[in-house]
Structure 1
Amino acid sequence: MIGVFDARSLVPRDKHDVAALSSIESAGYPAIAPILDDLLAWTADGNWPIAPPLARFLVTLGMPIVDPVSRVLQGDDSPQKYFCFQLIVEKLSMEVVEALEGDLRKLADQPSKADQSEGVDELAREALQRLHS
C-alpha cells in the first residue's frame, strides 16, 4: 500500500525551520493547497528567518494565494497585514493584486485604528495606485 501524503507534515515547526522550505517547494502546488493558510501564518513577522524565503515562494503561486492573503487582509492582526504587504502583496503580479482589489480598497478607505497605526492603509493605497497606474 502506498503511504498517504500528509501536507501538514510540511508546515514549518518553528520560525527557524528554514529547512522545511525545500520540502514545501518540492511538494509544490496543488499538494500544499490544504496548508496555504498555515504557511502564510509563518510570514506574519518579517523578522522570522522562515518568513522572507517562504514569502518569496508563496508569491510564485499566483492566483492560489489570493484567498489566503485575502483572509489575512480581512483579519484583525494589523502587524501581520503589514508584513503580508511587505513580503507578499508588493511582489505579486498585477493579475493577483487585481483579485485583491476589494480588500485593498476597504483597507485604504476604512482602516481600523490598528491598521492606521501600522501603516496598512497607506500600503493598501500604494498597491491600488500601482494597480491603476
Structure 2
Amino acid sequence: MNSNIVPQNKHDLDACINLQAISNSELPLYFEQLLPWLQDINWPVALPVAEKLSQANDDLVPFINEILLGNDDIWKCNVIEYLIMKLKPQVMESALVEVVKIINSPTQSEIDEGVNLIAREAVFYYSHCVSSVSRRSLTSSPHTTHHALFIDRKCNGRFISRNEY
C-alpha cells in the first residue's frame, strides 16, 4: 500500500492530493486508515478524505456501519453528514439501513449530540435526491437487495425498511 495517500497528520494536504489521484478500485484498501480522519471535521484533511471516500461502492458500507454502531457520536454525525449524504444513491441507500435504526431508537447520547436529527436529515435528503423513477427501479426489481426506505403512517411517521413492512 502506498502510505503517501493516507494523511500522516491533520495538516497533510499533500497526501490528500495523492489520494484524489488513486482509482476508486484501489480505495477499499485504505478505508480503515482514512475513516478516522472524519472524527473531527475541522481537521484540514477531513473534507478531502470524505470527498474521495464518497466515490466508493457498497464495500464501504460495513465500515460505515461499524462507526454507526460505535460510541463516538461526533464521528457518527460527521460520517452521516459529510460521507453518507455524498454517496452514490445506491450506496447511500445501503448505508441508510443503520441510520434508520438511529432515527427509530436513538441512545440518550445520540439525542444529546443530535445524531438522530442528522440521521433524519440524511433520510429526507435521500428521498429527495433519488427521483421516483430511480427509486421505483431500485425497489421493484425482484433481483435487488436494496432496502426501500419510507414512512409508514401507521407507525406514527417512524422510518421503516421494506423488510419491516
* TM-score of Structure 1 vs Structure 2, range by shorter chain: 0.7 to 0.9
* Aligned counterpart, 2:11: 16
Partner SS for 2:116: helix
* Aligned counterpart, 2:73: 78
What is the CA-CA distance between 1:30 and the residue it aligns to?
A: 2.6
Distance 1:29 1:94 in 2: 16
Give the length in aligned residue pairs: 128
RMSD of aligned Cα (Å): 1.8
Match of 1:89 among 84, 87, 99: 84
Does 2:101 match 1:106?
Answer: yes
Residues 43 and 51 in structure 1, CA contact (< 8 A), matched pair in contact too: yes
Gaps of 5+ in 2: 129-165
More relative contact order in 1 or in 2 (CA 8 Å, sep 6+)? 1
Match of 1:126 among 121, 139, 156: 121
Larger Rg: 2
Moved over 6 A (4+): none
Distance 2:18 2:65 in 1: 25
* Aligned counterpart, 1:3: none
Distance 1:53 1:125 in 2: 24
Gaps of 5+ in 1: 1-5
Question: 31-40 or 50-59, which moves further after superposition?
Answer: 31-40
